Amino acid sequence: MASDERSTALVPIAPVEASPLQPLGHTRATSDGELAASWLDGMHSATTREKFAATAERFLAALTVLGLTLRTATVEDVREAIAALGEGKAASTKAQYAQRAKSLLSYAHRLGYVLFNAGAAVRVKGGTVDRAKRIASETEIALLIRAAPSRRDRLLIEVGYAGGLRVSELVALRWSDVLPRDQDRVQVSIVGKGDKLRHVLLPAVVSRSLLASRGDADTDAPVFPSRKGGAPLLPRAVNRMIKNAAQGANVNPDVSAHWLRHAHASHALERGANVVDVKDTLGHANIATTSIYLHARPDRSSGLVLDDGVFLR
C-alpha cells in the first residue's frame, strides 16, 4: 500500500469559524473542525481514523490558506486544495487523499452542514497498483526471514507471511488471540477492516515457533512487543525493520510489510490453494479482489504460442 501521512492525533484540526450561513442540518457542528470530528467518530477502525484525520487536517488547512471553509469553498477551490494534498505523492496516494476529502464533503452535505457537495464534481484519477511489482518470490521471502535482526522480528515476518496479515493486524495481536489447535498448529483471531473478525490457521512450523516465544507473557500482552516497556510495535517500526532486513538480504529495497500479504496470496494460489480459502484468510470482502492475484504473475500467454520464426534475425 502507498505510504500515508505520519500523524498520531485523531482530530488535530484547528477550529475554523463557520460561515454566517447556517443551513438547517442534522449535526451540532458549528465549525469545520467539529464537523470533521463527527465524521471521524463514525469510523470503527483506529487505524482508519488516524489516516483519515491526518488527511482532513491537511485538507482543511489547504482551504484555510485560501481563506476558505467547507461552506465557502467552490468546486475550483476544492480541486485546488485536493491537488495541494497530493503534491509530490504517488498516483495511488493522491487518489486516496482525494477520496477521503470527497468523503468528508459528502458527509457535510448529507448532514446539512453545507448546502452543496463540491466534492461530487471532483473527478479522481485512479492510482493503478501493479501487484506483480509488489510480489516477492518465495526465495526473497526466505532470505528476508533469515536476515531479520532478532528472533522476534524473524517470527513477525513469518507470521505476517504465513497468515497473510496486514501490518496493523500483526501489531494488534495479543496472546489471547492465539489458540493452539491440533497437528501442532495455532489459530489466530484477527479483527480486520470494518472490525470484521476472522480466524486464520498457521502452518505447524510457524505455530511451534510462535508458541515457544511466549514464555510467561500474560494473555493481554502483545505477541510482538516493542523493546521499550513491552508496548505493541508501531506499524512504521515494522516497516523500518523490514526495510533494514531487505537491505541485509539484498532483496528488493521497496519491500514493505504489506508485501508479505501480497506474497502470501500469490504463492498460495500458485501452489494450488482454493481462491475462496485465500479470500477468507486475507479477509477480502469480495472474491474479485483475491482473483487479481491469479493474474498478477501469469505463466501462460497467447504470445507464447506464436511462431518464433517471425522473430528470427
The yes-or-no answer on residue 131 being catalytic is no
As given in the structure block, the three cell numbers for residue 116 are 452543496
Q: Considering only CA atoms, which of 35, 121, 34, 19 is closest in space to residue 77?
A: 121
The yes-or-no answer on residue 279 being catalytic is no
Catalytic residue, candidates 100, 134, 154, 258: 258
Let me know: does 159 contact 202? Beta carbons within 8 Å. yes
Catalytic residue, candidates 134, 166, 262, 264: 166
Catalytic residue, candidates 185, 193, 198, 297: 193
In three-state secondary structure terms, 306 is coil
The yes-or-no answer on residue 113 being catalytic is no
Got the DSSP string for 152-167?
Answer: HHHHHHHHHHHHT--H
Cα 12 to Cα 53: distance, rounded to the nearest angstrom: 7
The yes-or-no answer on residue 97 being catalytic is no
The yes-or-no answer on residue 258 being catalytic is yes
Cα 82 to Cα 59: distance, rounded to the nearest angstrom: 7
Q: How far is CA 159 from the centre of its chain?
A: 17
The yes-or-no answer on residue 110 being catalytic is no
Catalytic residue, candidates 134, 261, 262, 267: 261
Relative to beta strand 197-202, strand 186-191 is: antiparallel
Please give the C-alpha separations between residue 68 and each of 64, 73, 80, 210, 214, in angstroms, as whole numbers: 5, 6, 12, 53, 54
Catalytic residue, candidates 97, 107, 161, 293: 293
Active-site residues: which are they? 166, 193, 258, 261, 284, 293
